[in-house]
Chains A and B, each alone.
Chain A
């Protein structure tokens, strides 16, 4: 093998490793194919008229519709164990996107333990237990719009082939 070429490949691997470290400092091993996989969907609710002329809510893919400040986006994360072995300690983490605020009480996740972070994922807790310090050093309970990350921990090991979904809503600032 060409020595020079090998060096370049090595540099690339190091660069990718560094990037991975920066992006996901807590977990070092990327999932092998066929593990637990996620699909994230962003949707908005619009009013549509049905054949009876009644106004009904309908979900539309957000990318097809765009958003404006004040609009709410519903994020749904579908998970599935596409591997052939059970997965345990399955935790799904979704940072509240840039330009958005988490809509209080909008999180859903059947069969999961739901926790929140107000410090970009350094620590997690129940919403009621999280406290925010204001500039004067006074503490107040955290609100929905203080949330920086959401975490769903699936309570039971995820058997091969099993799937589910979790969701939350966020409002465009």
Chain B
């Protein structure tokens, strides 16, 4: 009886058939089958699984074959916290004046149980502009469904119940001020925090890691987890978190490992107006009967596109537009409102109107000229 100390319920049953031990064995087998989850994820054995093991010996004694099973030892599989946050953008995300734009992040649960995560965001580096509204997380790229917030986690947005080996894409939106300066950037570090611990009300969770070269301190089993521990096995991102801290922080980078974020795009359209006077005696005196040639030079700075640019220039008082003198880039435009870009007095009475269409930073300077006669 030396081999099975402590197994008192089965002590008497050392017969040829040992129904007691067999029933115990079948029970353990049944329990472990019940706890098995379909082997559908590649990530790992589900938390709470029971791994049972036993050995069998066969031997011959005086010509008869016998078999005997060992005790069954069982081991519980812990709750492994492992996840990755990825920034999906490959380049700066453009934001225009009064506009709204988003950066995309992918959160993947590489652990062995469904977990909850909070998301937090902070500016990294020196921001070159201030968004009109700070970053906010949405679950759709249209930015209509905000992530829920949880008061237990300080009102942070969170992702709940993310199953093992699954990902969720989240969209971080900012809105821009009405008047942006072109080419300014702001960068963010986004941190996912394994919300499992806060969700369970665990402030100092039982944490262990077999890969951690640390003292095997006694671990308080937590009632919320039953007999399971939380094992922090998360790696670190590029945003300054640590291995096995239950966090994953990421700063978006482009292919050349440059930090990327939101970049403003604003196209400034400027007009420089000049006048040349020629009087009737070949001089340049602005006297009655003299002609003034106005030149409007329209140019762009910045980036992006200005759509449907229209230039309006009222004909000055005490002067009369000289019919047939309107030109755009040295090509004549008719005075009537028709298919060409310009008209005089039709769109707006007493005003020269030229529709330049869409202008971009690549558009050449547009030259508008017209003559008026001083009355």
Contact = CB atoms under 8 A, between A and B. Distances in A.
Nearest to A58: B216
A19 B52 CA distance: 19
B3 A91 contact: no
Contact of B16 (A32, A60, A79): A32
Contact of B229 (A41, A45, A63, A66): A66
B44 interface: yes
B58 A93 contact: yes
B9 interface: no
Interface in A41-74: 41-42, 44-49, 55, 58, 60, 62-63, 65-71, 73
Contacts of B16: 29-30, 32
Contacts of B197: none
Contacts of B17: 13, 16-17, 20, 30
A158 B227 CA distance: 40
A29 B66 contact: yes
Nearest to B2: A82
B175 interface: no
A131 interface: no
B14 A173 contact: no
A13 B233 CA distance: 49
A98 B38 CA distance: 12
Contacts, number: 198
A158 B214 CA distance: 43
B18 A30 contact: yes
B53 A40 contact: yes
B58 to A, nearest CB: 5
A93 B56 contact: yes
A23 B56 CA distance: 11
Interface string A1-45: 000000000001100110110011011111111111111111011
Contacts of A28: 65
A162 interface: no
B365 interface: no
B265 interface: no
B307 interface: no
A98 B32 contact: yes
B26 interface: yes
Given A39-B70, A40-B72, A42-B73, A98 B210 contact: no
A75 B53 contact: yes
Interface in B1-56: 2-4, 14-19, 22, 25-26, 32, 36, 43-45, 49, 51-56
B59 A68 contact: no
Contact of B78 (A12, A66, A89): A66
A53 to B, nearest CB: 10
Contacts of B76: 63, 66-67
Give the contact-size bracket for chain B.
35 or more
Given A19-B26, A20-B17, A29-B66, A67 B53 contact: no
Contacts of A88: 59-61
B80 A35 contact: no
A158 B66 CA distance: 14
B51 A36 contact: no
A78 to B, nearest CB: 9
Contacts of A33: 14-15
Nearest to B214: A47
B77 interface: yes
- A19, A63, A69, A85 — most chain B CB neighbours (10 Å): A69
Contact of B58 (A26, A73, A75): A26
B194 interface: no
Contacts of A114: none
A47 B210 CA distance: 8
13 contacts: A20-B17, A26-B58, A27-B65, A32-B16, A62-B75, A66-B227, A66-B228, A71-B210, A85-B62, A89-B65, A93-B56, A99-B49, A158-B59
The 6 closest A-B pairs by CB, nearest first: A69-B44, A38-B70, A31-B68, A33-B14, A27-B67, A87-B59
Given A30-B17, A68-B233, A69-B77, 4 more contacts: A20-B17, A31-B68, A38-B55, A70-B80
Interface of B: 2-4, 14-19, 22, 25-26, 32, 36, 43-45, 49, 51-62, 64-80, 112, 208-216, 227-229, 231, 233
